[in-house]
Structure 1
Amino acid sequence: MKKQISFSATGYAADLGPLKIQRILPNRYTNKVGPFVFLDYVAPVIKEIINKNGMGAHPHRGIATLTYIIQGEVEHFDSAGNTAKIHSGGAQWMKAGNGIIHDENFNYDSQTASKYIHGFQFWINLPAKNKAESPAHIPIQANEVPKRVLPNESGWLKVIVGSYEDLSSKIPNYSEQFLYHIQLEAGKQFSLDVENNIEVAAFLPMQNILLNDTEFHKGELVEFDQKAGEIELKNTSGKSVDILLFGGETYTESMVAEGPFIMNTQAEIATAYRDFHAGKYGEIKVTTQNK
Structure 2
Amino acid sequence: MKQATDFRVSAGSQNVRRVLQRTRGKATGPITRLAGPSDIGQLIKPFVFLGYIGVKSPIETETPLHPHSGIATLTALVEGSLHHQDSKGRPRSMSAGGIEWMQAGCGVWHGGFAKTTGSVKLYQLWIALPPALELSTPSEIFLKADEMPSEGPAQVLLGRLNGQASPISEPQPMACLNVRLSQGERWRYTPPRDHDVLWISVYSGSLDAGEEVSEGELVVFEQSGHSVDFLAKEDCGFLLGSAQHSPFDLIEGYYSVHTEQAALQSGEQEIGRQGAQLCADGRISAERAAQVAHQMSTATKS
1:45 pairs with 2:56: yes
Q: Which residue of 2 aligns with 1:12?
A: 26
CA RMSD of aligned residues (A): 2.4
Partner of 1:2, secondary structure, is coil
Partner of 1:64, secondary structure, is strand
Query: Can you list the C-alpha shifts for 1:133-162, whole angstroms capped at 9, x where unaligned?
Result: 1111110011111123x3xxxxx2111111
Q: Which residues in structure 2 correspond to 1:279-290 (within 5 Å)?
A: 279=274, 282-283=277-278
Q: Which residue of 2 aligns with 1:56?
A: 64
How has the CA–CA distance of structure 1 residues 124 and 190 changed in structure 2, closer, same or farther, with 3 Å as cutoff? Answer: same
1:23 pairs with 2:33: yes
Partner of 1:251, secondary structure, is coil
Give the stretch that moved more between structures: 126-135 or 192-201.
192-201
Quote the offset at 1:283 in angstroms.
2.8
Contact between 1:101 and 1:282, CA under 8 Å: does it hold in 2? no
> Comparing both structures, which one devotes a greater share of its residues to helix?
2
Quote the offset at 1:84 in angstroms.
3.6
Distance in 2 (CA, whole Å) between partners of 1:99 and 1:61 is 4
Quote the offset at 1:56 in angstroms.
1.6
Distance in 2 (CA, whole Å) between partners of 1:94 and 1:74 is 16
2:188 partner letter: S
1:220 pairs with 2:217: yes
Q: Which residues in structure 2 correspond to 1:100-111 (within 5 Å)?
A: 100-103=108-111, 105-109=113-117
Q: Which residue of 2 aligns with 1:204?
A: 202
Quote the offset at 1:14 in angstroms.
2.8
Q: Which residue of 2 aligns with 1:153?
A: none
1:72 pairs with 2:75: no
Structure 2 unmatched runs, 5+: 1-14, 284-302
Distance in 1 (CA, whole Å) between partners of 2:113 and 2:41 is 29
Q: How many residues align?
A: 265
Q: Which residues in structure 2 correspond to 1:226-245 (within 5 Å)?
A: 226-237=223-234, 240-245=235-240
Contact between 2:41 and 2:47, CA under 8 Å: does it hold in 1? no
Contact between 1:34 and 1:177, CA under 8 Å: does it hold in 2? no
Distance in 2 (CA, whole Å) between partners of 1:116 and 1:162 is 28
Q: Which residues in structure 2 correspond to 1:108-119 (within 5 Å)?
A: 108-109=116-117, 115-119=118-122
Match of 2:126 among 99, 123, 126: 123
How has the CA–CA distance of structure 1 residues 14 and 281 changed in structure 2, closer, same or farther, with 3 Å as cutoff? Answer: farther
Contact between 1:202 and 1:245, CA under 8 Å: does it hold in 2? yes
How has the CA–CA distance of structure 1 residues 181 and 217 changed in structure 2, closer, same or farther, with 3 Å as cutoff? Answer: same
Contact between 1:34 and 1:247, CA under 8 Å: does it hold in 2? no
- The percentage of aligned residue pairs carrying the same residue is 21
1:117 partner letter: V
Q: Which residue of 2 aligns with 1:112?
A: none
Q: Which residue of 1 aligns with 2:187?
A: 190
1:146 partner letter: P
Distance in 1 (CA, whole Å) between partners of 2:92 and 2:137 is 18
Q: Which residue of 1 aligns with 2:265?
A: 270
Partner of 1:131, secondary structure, is coil
Distance in 1 (CA, whole Å) between partners of 2:198 and 2:159 is 13
1:133 pairs with 2:136: yes
Q: Please, what TM-score do these two structures have when normalized by structure 2?
A: 0.80
Contact between 2:173 and 2:195, CA under 8 Å: does it hold in 1? no
Quote the offset at 1:9 in angstroms.
1.5
Quote the offset at 1:201 in angstroms.
0.3
Quote the offset at 1:191 in angstroms.
0.9
Distance in 2 (CA, whole Å) between partners of 1:286 and 1:43 is 33
Match of 1:165 among 127, 151, 162: 162
Quote the offset at 1:118 in angstroms.
1.4
Distance in 2 (CA, whole Å) between partners of 1:90 and 1:269 is 31
